[in-house]
Chain A
Amino acid sequence: MTTNWQQLRSELNHDWLKNVYLRQLQAFVIRSRSSRPDRGRMREFLQADFYAWRARRPSIVALLDDAERALSPATLFDEAPLSACAELDQAWLRIIIHELWLVRRPVREWCESGRRALEVVDVRFEEASKGIGCVCDLDLEQLGGRLGAFEALSEAILALIHRISAFPHEIEVV
């Protein structure tokens, strides 16, 4: 389970958010400011790439919601050798180990801070999308005045990336 969470995080945070979506946003802002903008590439972004956030968002929410459970040392009972423990023992040991882990590690704060960062991205995304207007016209002048919203979205995404990256990369035994 933990492996799946780590893999999901890597795919969402590293592969997509960091290396694709953030880079696309930054490139869009640079193109918009260019004296020779690639309008075709800008349209592609506004028509498809930009809205990928809405499609990927639920996965990020799920990732944050699942972090406490997936990263808990209690999951060690899912695999050998601890999976060999009697079910009765496992039941109380899982709870105690999980609680001790929560005392030592501010996992809920990490999750909460991740959710807050996600909310900021949502707000910035809506603000940026309001300024897009009609993509077929691609009014660069009008767009130029709205670039601040795209930059703010980039910053918000960067903050979210940092929050997601801050989760441990393996189960920490307490």
Chain B
Amino acid sequence: MALARVLVIDDDLGGATGGRSRQREDFCLATGLSDVTGDVVVEHIPDPIAEAVFLRGQRISSGSIENDLDGILGFLRDGWRQAPRWPLVLVDLHFRTGRTTVSGTAEGRLEDRLPEEYFGLKLLERIGSDSGLKDLPIVVLSSMDRNRIERHLSDLGALDFRDKSLLTKESMGALLEEHGLLEDDVIVGRSVAMLRCLRSARRRSKLGNDNVLVLGETGTGKELLARYIHRTSGREGQYVPLFTQGVPETLIEDRLFGHVKGAYAGADKSAPGAAELAQQGTLFIDEFGDMPMAVQTKLLRLLDKNIRESQRLGAPMPKRLDVLVVMATGVSSLMTDGSMRRDLMFRAHLDSALEIPPLRERKEDIPILSRHFLRKYEARFNAEPRIFTEEALEWLCLRPWPGNVRELERTIEQAVFNHRGLRVLSVSHLDLDAIASSPWDSPRKGKGAGSPRIAAVESPSQPGTLQDLWEALKAVSVSEVSPSELTGSLESLQERYADLALRLFKAALVATSRSTVAHPEGEIFIHPAMKLLTGDSSLTASKAADRVKKMFAASPAISAAMLQDPALKTAYDTALRLRPQRSSRAGSKGVS
């Protein structure tokens, strides 16, 4: 993953003499920063944790060194408008001015050392009043005594203060991590919008067990943010997600609060709900905005942080809990249509909800996210390591992504899965719309070349769509072809069918998967997936398993390739487990 870049404004570290800056070299070595300023020869930094641009912030004229406030602000404005922006700026406090000494440094004036006159504070003040630099995240980096300027620091909007002389690689790493600038296995992104959201999330996670409401469009990663909040909260208990989409109203209450034995017909033993399982941890409630009215009433006592009570169905008494409750919903779901109790919205802290920015508002994250997903799916599909062409990255950045990060991830997953042997991904590998409309029936050389329509079904190595299959089938039925040509094309046709059917089935598996503690990326269920695929709501689980096996049996070659996909492999294994007595063609031909 690309390293984050920080800007360091410091008279000592920013200066250089004779193409070298020994102080900067020592600083970079000790803190693990890789100097990318470009004004000096740099030393090799083993395993750097971030890149740094150094700025002296002073001008030298007539043998005197003076601070250059306007120069710094101009540099900041220019840099802040274009990528790669610095998601973090480290600012020194004490800048030495005055006559230039033989070593090239300033002699220093008495006022430079007066806390109320620190140049760093003046710089903070100007940045704070500059509307173009409103969101610039600043950490003061100084070895001066902070006690004397503590009040100024908070007044001027500095996020943090670090003792420059005591910074090590570990403490710099902690600082970067605190500001969301180290590689994260949960949330990926360094755009200002995302970093602001993460900063708010970290603050909220540390406010004890107060409720947190997360708002965001579909696919923005609301559940990931909930996990992030749990992780940064330091709570000892586990993270328990509750997904209510598609769950019958009557079951939501049971899933949330649990039940005691005999609470209802079929409740043959007591079971805790998600709230109890999250004791001392974090409870995540997805689709909070669609919560049934009956459950909303019971939720009131759980969401009241001074009460935090959960009562199992059929239990005589409620139980007090210590949980952090994170709720998520789409922005539109909380429109005041009367379906949400006002007191519940009040307790959910609607007024201070965390809003995850949609991908179109954090486009500078798209290259980082894309490379992250590329590595993820290369590993998952055991595919060749690859890169994007510049055009491909540009294309990714220009798309509107209405389905947000989830849509971006799916696009890259498909691109890797469909082209496992490639080492470079171009626009044509990513643009699924273009692929769908591309002419599959272009004449091919060799077998079937004389019959373009039959040739269309001969290369199952390329992905296709239902439309392609339909066109190919029509061609087979109406073309004037010889029986031998027709027979020769059947196997290809079967492969095409298997390829398309299994791709659609994969999509249905993903669509019906559910995130659980054991399967945070989604647990696979073949029954609902097959129901979705066939539109047959009366389909039984065993019939669904049979259909899965039949799909895999259509083409052993395609099945073998498709079974490298973990979701399809899980589905196939599940089908075999459910219906072991009837061996499939795929199974009998050694597909595993």
Binding site for B on A (CB under 8 A): 3, 6-7, 10-11, 14-15, 18-20, 22-24, 26-27, 30-31, 34-36, 38, 41, 44, 158, 161, 165, 169
Chain B, 142-176, CB within 8 A of any chain A CB: 143-145, 148, 164-166, 168
Instruction: Known pairs A18-B143, A23-B26; list 9 more (Cβ under 8 Å).
Output: A7-B110, A14-B143, A19-B143, A19-B165, A27-B26, A27-B29, A35-B46, A36-B44, A165-B145
- A23 contacts B144, CB within 8 Å? no
Interface centre among A3, A14, A38 (most CB of B within 10 A): A14
Interface: B344 (CB within 8 A): no
CB within 8 Å for A19 and B164 given contacts A10-B113, A14-B144: yes
Interface: B80 (CB within 8 A): no
Q: Give me 22 A-to-B residue pairs in the complex whose CB atoms sit less than 8 angstroms apart, sorted by A's number.
A: A3-B110, A7-B110, A11-B108, A14-B94, A15-B96, A19-B23, A19-B164, A26-B26, A26-B168, A27-B25, A27-B30, A30-B30, A31-B29, A36-B46, A38-B44, A41-B25, A41-B43, A44-B22, A158-B166, A165-B145, A169-B145, A169-B148
- B165 contacts A23, CB within 8 Å? yes
Residues of A within 8 A of B23 (CB): 19-20, 23
A42 to chain B, nearest CB (A): 11
- A22 contacts B43, CB within 8 Å? no
Q: In chain B, what residue has the closest Cβ to A10? A: B113
Chain B, 369-386, CB within 8 A of any chain A CB: none
A158 to chain B, nearest CB (A): 8
User: Contacting B27 at CB < 8 Å: which of A18, A23, A165?
Assistant: A23
Binding site for A on B (CB under 8 A): 12, 22-23, 25-27, 29-30, 43-44, 46, 94, 96, 108, 110, 113, 143-145, 148, 164-166, 168
A98 to chain B, nearest CB (A): 25
Interface centre among B43, B110, B144 (most CB of A within 10 A): B43
Q: In chain B, what residue has the closest Cβ to A20? A: B23
Q: In chain B, what residue has the closest Cβ to A40? A: B43
Residues of B within 8 A of A14 (CB): 94, 143-144
CA distance A23 to B164 in the complex (A): 10
Q: In chain A, what residue has the closest Cβ to B163? A: A18
Main secondary structure on A side of the interface with B: helix
CA distance A11 to B29 in the complex (A): 24
CA distance A158 to B26 in the complex (A): 17
User: Contacting A22 at CB < 8 Å: which of B12, B110, B113, B165?
Assistant: B165
- B165 contacts A18, CB within 8 Å? yes
Residues of A within 8 A of B46 (CB): 34-36
Residues of A within 8 A of B145 (CB): 165, 169
Residues of A within 8 A of B110 (CB): 3, 7
The 10 closest A-B pairs by CB, nearest first: A27-B26, A18-B165, A23-B26, A27-B29, A18-B143, A26-B30, A30-B29, A38-B43, A10-B113, A36-B44
A142 to chain B, nearest CB (A): 22
CA distance A6 to B165 in the complex (A): 19
CA distance A47 to B586 in the complex (A): 75
- B26 contacts A24, CB within 8 Å? yes
CA distance A98 to B40 in the complex (A): 52
- B113 contacts A19, CB within 8 Å? no
Residues of B within 8 A of A30 (CB): 29-30
B17 to chain A, nearest CB (A): 14
A28 to chain B, nearest CB (A): 8
CA distance A107 to B430 in the complex (A): 72
Q: In chain A, what residue has the closest Cβ to B147? A: A169
CA distance A94 to B154 in the complex (A): 40
CA distance A158 to B110 in the complex (A): 26
CA distance A27 to B25 in the complex (A): 8
Interface centre among A6, A19, A26, A161 (most CB of B within 10 A): A19
A157 to chain B, nearest CB (A): 10
Q: In chain B, what residue has the closest Cβ to A35? A: B46
CA distance A38 to B46 in the complex (A): 12
Residues of A within 8 A of B113 (CB): 6-7, 10
CA distance A169 to B115 in the complex (A): 10
- B12 contacts A19, CB within 8 Å? yes
CA distance A128 to B96 in the complex (A): 32
CA distance A6 to B113 in the complex (A): 9
A131 to chain B, nearest CB (A): 20
CA distance A7 to B110 in the complex (A): 8
B170 to chain A, nearest CB (A): 12
Interface centre among B23, B113, B148, B165 (most CB of A within 10 A): B165
Residues of B within 8 A of A6 (CB): 113
CA distance A120 to B94 in the complex (A): 30
Q: In chain B, what residue has the closest Cβ to A6? A: B113
CA distance A14 to B26 in the complex (A): 16
Residues of B within 8 A of A22 (CB): 165
CA distance A100 to B582 in the complex (A): 100
CA distance A117 to B108 in the complex (A): 28
Q: In chain A, what residue has the closest Cβ to B113? A: A10
CA distance A173 to B536 in the complex (A): 88
Interface centre among A22, A24, A30, A35 (most CB of B within 10 A): A30
CA distance A34 to B28 in the complex (A): 14
- A23 contacts B148, CB within 8 Å? no
CA distance A125 to B25 in the complex (A): 23
Residues of B within 8 A of A23 (CB): 23, 26-27, 30, 165
CA distance A34 to B94 in the complex (A): 32
Residues of A within 8 A of B27 (CB): 23
A34 to chain B, nearest CB (A): 6
CA distance A13 to B94 in the complex (A): 14
CA distance A26 to B44 in the complex (A): 16
CA distance A15 to B143 in the complex (A): 9
Q: In chain A, what residue has the closest Cβ to B143? A: A18
Residues of B within 8 A of A7 (CB): 110, 113
Q: In chain B, what residue has the closest Cβ to A11? A: B108
A171 to chain B, nearest CB (A): 14
A159 to chain B, nearest CB (A): 13
CA distance A164 to B30 in the complex (A): 23
Q: In chain B, what residue has the closest Cβ to A33? A: B46
CA distance A107 to B23 in the complex (A): 34
CA distance A25 to B64 in the complex (A): 31
CA distance A25 to B68 in the complex (A): 32
Residues of B within 8 A of A169 (CB): 145, 148
